[in-house]
Structure 1
Amino acid sequence: MDNFYPKKGRVILHVDMNSFYASVEMAYNPSLKGKPLAVAGNPEERRGIIVTCSYEARAKGVKTTMPLWEAKKLCPELIVLPPDFEKYRKASISMFQILAKYSSLIQPVSIDEGYMDITECINLGSPIEIAKKIQAEILAELQLPCSIGIAPNKFLAKTASGMKKPLGITILRKRDVPSKLWPLKVENMHGIGRRTAEKLNKIGITTIGELAKANDYQLKQLLGINGIRLKARANGEDFRPVDPDAVSEFKSIGNSTTLKADTTDEEEIKGVLNRLAGSVERRMQRHHVVSWNIQITIRYYNRETVTRSRKLKYAIHAKEDIFNAAWYLFKKHWSEEPIRLLGITAQDLEEKNDSTKQLNLFTFEEEAKDEPLINTMEKLKDKYGDDIIVKGLTKPPQTSTPTTSFQKDFLQDYKWRKEE
């Protein structure tokens, strides 16, 4: 038996489906296999955006979020299909049902990936044998390829699964970190985005190895407590368990305050909401979570209490975004009667590291159109500071446009099916 099973510690698998949406389309229509294929919104229109594409299309230079016209220019023979949500949902449920044959400790983190704890599965074979069986069964039963990372913790398992695609199986032990991870650029590390990488680069941290050896005080000054957590990850440390119930833990973090006197003064109310947003942000930072739903509580002078919430297009965690969502709700629902108490609650929480921004299939075109503006704003902030631009309130999406991501909806649906 493989001695990978430790006397102490865990054995974690990260199962990551390869080019999932495109692969599902190929499974439904085998004639598409081996051809350059892309899933895109509004494929009839030149302004459509690539959601995902096959490896044959990637070999031609086609990439996710690329405008359709550009993809067609690179690959004139590109086959473009609109997204079919029900197909992807069914395929994902079937995939997780296969995983459940091997372990009861499964934690989905999106429609096409999840963690498994196989520490107690020694009777099923070595970790590499179990990974091979899972990969082969998913391919045989569903005609879908996947890559699997094997490691002692979630961070290393996630990192390992991305090392060989498609149909890769990679073992990443903690002792491998100095040779396999440290030489890589810091922006290649799971959990580090472009802005964080830029901040680290400015203080001379360009590789994962430099992050692993960085000064704690300097990291905390630059990135807060998240800097210390990223350093631990860079050293291969991650103590998060695989939690099957995490899908259903739509907990909340909130704060409320009773005003010194009943008031209708908008400036005073705005100041209170701003302070509450700051309090909620700090608590969310301590728990390393983001929110998909903001709720406000208004208690009037006569003790009548109302709560109103707003689902968000993207997950948020910053004070400014929390305040903006709360202020919009307040302006929409305030009766203009004197107020005694105000509260803000962040709901539908999700761990920040697992909340990689998924391309929203309903709104990706809007996002792509905003990209030049966003790039300009970032350049201005870099040159003149963050205060040069202050975001204004924007009108929320119309009710005809879905405002929660397909990925988030799937996780709730998965939990509901699991409990049946």
Structure 2
Amino acid sequence: MKVLSKGRIIFHVDMNSFYASVEQAHNPELKGKTIAIAGNPKERRGIIVTSSYEARAKGIYTTMNVAEALRKCPDLILLPPDFPKYRAASKAMFSILRGYTDLIEPVSIDEGYIDITKNTDNRHPIEIAKEIQLRILNELDLPCSIGIAPNKFLAKTASDMKKPMGITVLRKRDIPTKLWPLPVIEMHGVGESTAKKLASIKVNTIGDLAHIEEHVIRQALGKNGVRLRARANGEDNREVDPNSIYETKSVGNSTTLPNDETDNEILEKTFDTLASKVAERLDAKKLCGPTLSILIRDADWQNHTRSRTFHNPIYHKDVIYEEAVKLFYKTWDGAPIRLLGVTISNVIDRKQSVEQLSIFNFEDFAKQEPIYDLINKIQKKFGKGAIQKGIEIGKKSNYASKTSFSKDFLDDLKE
């Protein structure tokens, strides 16, 4: 067999219906049945997190309200999330992938990229993909789909084309026939809001996006529009980066309210709770960040966001709460609210945050520079996790600060 090409060979490994599949692997009696993982069914925040393929065949989908799901499928088996179980399965899956290459980039608890360009041993990539897929199935009793392509965008797109247990090759020459005819909303990186903006400039398919003039898309969507146009043409030079597991970019939390809410006191109390959870997670990881964003989802499922970037990074609960509420009142039009969210982004380690130099501390700061220079040199040679300045033993975080909805599972992969 011939290999795909002399270019890069990248896999996107995507676990199928991961949480539900893990539950079925742990309890074989659940196999073949309509099951769903959900929050508290007694409250409206009880929504479907994921469901088995048997449940999906009956119209159950992620984010569906539990009550609606039970009306549609009365025999649906509801299970609460078991995050430790899912994290253990994720760790085992990535351990299998490490047997094929060190170039692994986890992107969520149930998916990741691997670059096997230099690790084929003269075998065809499809043969390797089949072996990986069967090992994960036989050793963990979990199904997965694998996309094979010359870059990350096409590999991610390919893995979605056949589920469950699919293996799909997507070459650049396939783009005009396999991608361009699709609605632009089906393209990775395009959400409902972006799709509406694209529709306003008569971009309805991925092919329309690929062929639009660059200055037009730049005017409509800025740099992101130019990036999406490149993706639509199959262009993606991003490397598979193992060091990405050391890079937390944002910390956030959101909650669905029990009722469509307009009461200021209840809304402010919700922000207080969200600020506490975000601050707790920042504290657990010793992070801070300069950008605070809020998300408001109204009763019509329309999302409204607003953000503010501060001169200095923030992480204190009281500051997060106060600034989030200020943004809220600048944004809210009084319409009933279904969901609220708070996020701190562009986060960095607190030790790396820039100090305000003064006549009292500039000498101490200057003394630290040789240490940071040495750390940077070691990290460039051996990787970002190779060394840190000092060791800080903090309080053990509770599970509220470590959930699989964030990328906290990545901590398991640093061991």
Question: Which range, TM-score by smaller chain?
Answer: 0.5 to 0.7
2:148 to 147, 150, 168: 150
TM-score (norm 1): 0.66
State how 1:2-151 maps to structure 2 within 5 Å. 2-4=2-4, 6-7=5-6, 9-43=7-41, 48-123=46-121, 125-151=123-149
* CA contact 2:290–2:347 (8 Å) conserved in 1: no
Are residues 92 and 127 of structure 1, via their aligned partners in 2, closer, same or farther at CA, if it must alter by over 3 Å? same
In structure 2, give the amino acid aligned to 1:347: V
* CA contact 1:149–1:160 (8 Å) conserved in 2: yes
Q: Distance in 2 between matches of 1:87 and 1:319?
A: 33
Could you tell me which residue of structure 2 aligns to residue 268 of structure 1? none
Displacement of 1:315: 9.8
In structure 1, give the amino acid aligned to 2:75: E
Are residues 309 and 201 of structure 1, via their aligned partners in 2, closer, same or farther at CA, if it must alter by over 3 Å? closer
Could you tell me which residue of structure 2 aligns to residue 329 of structure 1? 319
Could you tell me which residue of structure 1 aligns to residue 159 of structure 2? 161
* CA contact 2:39–2:80 (8 Å) conserved in 1: yes
In structure 2, give the amino acid aligned to 1:149: G
In structure 1, give the amino acid aligned to 2:196: E
Are residues 406 and 122 of structure 1, via their aligned partners in 2, closer, same or farther at CA, if it must alter by over 3 Å? closer
Are residues 116 and 401 of structure 1, via their aligned partners in 2, closer, same or farther at CA, if it must alter by over 3 Å? closer
* CA contact 1:109–1:411 (8 Å) conserved in 2: no
Matched, 1:193 2:191: yes
In structure 2, give the amino acid aligned to 1:132: K
Post-superposition Cα deviations, 1:330-350, rounded to whole Å, max 9, x if no partner, equal 8869xxxxxxxxxx983159x
Q: Distance in 2 between matches of 1:90 and 1:236?
A: 35
Q: Distance in 2 between matches of 1:220 and 1:23?
A: 42
Matched, 1:206 2:204: yes
User: 5+ residue gaps in structure 1?
Assistant: 253-291, 294-306, 334-343, 350-398
Are residues 214 and 22 of structure 1, via their aligned partners in 2, closer, same or farther at CA, if it must alter by over 3 Å? same
Q: Distance in 2 between matches of 1:55 and 1:169?
A: 18
* 3-state secondary structure, aligned to 1:408: coil
Displacement of 1:246: 1.1
In structure 1, give the amino acid aligned to 2:228: L
Displacement of 1:319: 9.6
Q: Distance in 2 between matches of 1:49 and 1:251?
A: 26
Q: Distance in 1 between matches of 2:18 and 2:171?
A: 27
* CA contact 1:310–1:329 (8 Å) conserved in 2: no
Give the number of equivalent residue pairs. 306
Displacement of 1:103: 1.0
Could you tell me which residue of structure 2 aligns to residue 347 of structure 1? 347
Q: Distance in 1 between matches of 2:399 and 2:134?
A: 39
Displacement of 1:402: 3.2
Displacement of 1:414: 3.0
Post-superposition Cα deviations, 1:337-372, rounded to whole Å, max 9, x if no partner, equal xxxxxxx983159xxxxxxxxxxxxxxxxxxxxxxx
* 3-state secondary structure, aligned to 1:149: strand
Matched, 1:239 2:237: yes
Are residues 216 and 48 of structure 1, via their aligned partners in 2, closer, same or farther at CA, if it must alter by over 3 Å? same
Displacement of 1:247: 1.1
Are residues 330 and 38 of structure 1, via their aligned partners in 2, closer, same or farther at CA, if it must alter by over 3 Å? closer
* CA contact 1:110–1:410 (8 Å) conserved in 2: no
* 3-state secondary structure, aligned to 2:133: helix
TM-score (norm 2): 0.67
Post-superposition Cα deviations, 1:357-411, rounded to whole Å, max 9, x if no partner, equal xxxxxxxxxxxxxxxxxxxxxxxxxxxxxxxxxxxxxxxxxx9993675243434
Post-superposition Cα deviations, 1:260-292, rounded to whole Å, max 9, x if no partner, equal xxxxxxxxxxxxxxxxxxxxxxxxxxxxxxxx9
Are residues 319 and 215 of structure 1, via their aligned partners in 2, closer, same or farther at CA, if it must alter by over 3 Å? same
* CA contact 2:146–2:167 (8 Å) conserved in 1: yes
* CA contact 1:312–1:404 (8 Å) conserved in 2: no
* CA contact 1:50–1:63 (8 Å) conserved in 2: yes
In structure 2, give the amino acid aligned to 1:193: G
Are residues 76 and 124 of structure 1, via their aligned partners in 2, closer, same or farther at CA, if it must alter by over 3 Å? farther
Could you tell me which residue of structure 2 aligns to residue 380 of structure 1? none
* CA contact 2:147–2:156 (8 Å) conserved in 1: yes
Q: Distance in 1 between matches of 2:49 and 2:136?
A: 23
In structure 2, give the amino acid aligned to 1:201: A
Could you tell me which residue of structure 1 aligns to residue 411 of structure 2? 413
In structure 1, give the amino acid aligned to 2:151: N
